[in-house]
Amino acid sequence: MEADSPKGLRPETLAVAFGYDPADALGAVKPPVYLTSTFIYPSAQHAKDVHEAFFEGTGPLAETGGGHIYSRLGHPGLDILESRLAAIDGAEAAAAFSSGMAAHSSIALTFVQPGDSVLHGRPIYGGVDMLYGSVMPRFGTQVETYQDGTDPDGVRAAARAAMAKGPLALIVAETPANPTAAIVDLDLMVAVADEVGRETGRRPLVVVDNTLLGPFSQRPIEHGVDLCMTSLTKYCAGHSDLLAGGVSGKFELIHSLRTLRTTWGNHLDPFTAWLVVRSLESASVRIERAMANARSVAEFLRDHPKVAGVTYLGFLKEGTPQRAVYDRQCKGAGSTFSFHLHGGEAESFRMLDNLKLLKLAVSLGGSETLICHSATTTHYAVPREGRLAGGITDGTMRLSVGLEHVDDLIADLAQALEAV
């Protein structure tokens, strides 16, 4: 099986072997960093042909992609990353952006028109909540939310409420949701989008944020979603040293995103693209170790008398709708979840301030274990009623378990909880 074809190859193999031909770089076993802002044309006619292929999709270079013009429009490192990400996600194409929020914002600005409505769940990442709750309404967009992404009646009722505000353009799901790991039924979201399309003649796009599990533990494209967004900053990069975002999906949708990306200028730069490609090769191994650690940490917290509850996906009860979705949709429980202390902000702060190994910081998916108090950090800008509706209390903390020895992590949590 040749590495230039994704057929028959598993995501872990594609992350190492797909999208790069050593013959293009003097036989280098790994892709070089293409640190250039512009590209030379061998002739004036070739320059014209390259531009025609890029902007019109026609001409003698159309089938080969035409080559490169200027790094804001595209560069070899971007080509490698996007082809590899698309293959891992099982999609036709992918587009990479300068951050996860750049990817989210690009989707909104590309596919939502003034007067449209957007439907998303709660909880959802604070930046996305602000995008659709505060920013997009300035452009005439209305938003509606659903509370339980596994409840068919509730989701359909929320979709009807959104349609009453304007044509439904997007159904946005983050699953597992940030920070509580609430799960969303992707098959249900696709079914609702199809129903809306049959009824209105305009089918909303289903957009899934796959950040908390990533492409090795969940592949939304397999469930028929239109666009799979991943904050590459997190598990795919995995070292807390860069910002990047990726979107995978059908070619025509990704083409629209790439076309407008040339105007917005929020593409991923050559060096960061190289870093993500490098990191993708080890992502599945890192994620497997982090998930094993997370299971043990979650079990310790679940049994601790000062902990009121843990939202770890591996604890979903048999026979519940959430567990049924998890079994059908996910290949692992991930390593980011929340736990709730008895008490509120004061108790949480005491625990956090007594940690010695775990790092108090936002973000997730890095090699180090990170913890934060959600209500006063990642979801600070979300109105209190919205936080509570999504299960984020004043005693809620998000924990992203890393690669340290699990006994050391548990020991640090144990001594910090003694201060509560």
What's the token pair of residue 208?
A: 């899934």
Q: At residue 64, does pLDDT exceed 90?
A: no
Sheet holding 142-146, edge to edge: 93-97, 245-249, 227-230, 205-209, 168-174, 117-121, 142-146
The residues with which 372 forms a beta bridge, in sequence order, are: 398
> Is the bond preceding residue 123 a cis peptide, omega within 30 degrees?
yes
Q: What are the phi and psi torsion angles at 358 (to 5°)?
A: -65, 140
Q: At residue 282, does pLDDT exceed 90?
A: yes
pLDDT category, 103, cuts 50, 70, 90?
very high
- For residues 96-121, give the mean pLDDT: 98
- Domain-wise residue ranges, the chain: 76-278, 284-417
In CATH, the architecture of 76-278 is 3-Layer(aba) Sandwich (3.40)
Calculate what percentage of the chain has a pLDDT beyond 70: 99
Residue with tokens 């592949």: 219
Distance CA 361, CA 88 (A): 29
pTM for the full model?
A: 0.94
Annotate 199-267 with DSSP letters as a single string.
Answer: HHS-PPEEEEE-TTT-TTT--GGGGT-SEEEE-TTTTTT-SS----EEEEE-HHHHHHHHHHHHHHT-B
pLDDT tens digits, one per residue of 150-183 = 999 999 999 999 999 999 999 999 999 989 899 9
Q: At residue 5, does pLDDT exceed 90?
A: no
pLDDT category, 55, cuts 50, 70, 90?
confident
pLDDT for 199: 97
- Distances 357 to 140, 291, 312, 345, 378 between C-alpha atoms, Å: 46, 18, 21, 21, 21
Tell which CATH classification among 3.90.1150.10, 3.30.1330.80, 3.90.420.10, 3.40.50.920 matches the domain 284-417: 3.90.1150.10
- For residues 12-29, give the mean pLDDT: 94
User: Which residues fall within 8 angstroms of residue 349, CB to CB, at 6 or more apart?
Assistant: 373
pLDDT for 92: 96
Q: At residue 106, does pLDDT exceed 60?
A: yes
pLDDT category, 383, cuts 50, 70, 90?
confident
The 3-state DSSP composition of the chain as helix, strand, coil percent (nearest 5) reads: 45, 15, 40
User: Which residues fall within 8 angstroms of residue 294, CB to CB, at 6 or more apart?
Assistant: 312, 333, 334, 335, 336, 337, 401
Q: Provide Rg for the chain, Cα atoms.
A: 22
Distance CA 319, CA 331 (A): 18
Distance CA 204, CA 194 (A): 8
Distance CA 351, CA 347 (A): 6
* Sequence-ordered strand ranges (E) for 32-187: 93-97, 117-121, 142-146, 168-174
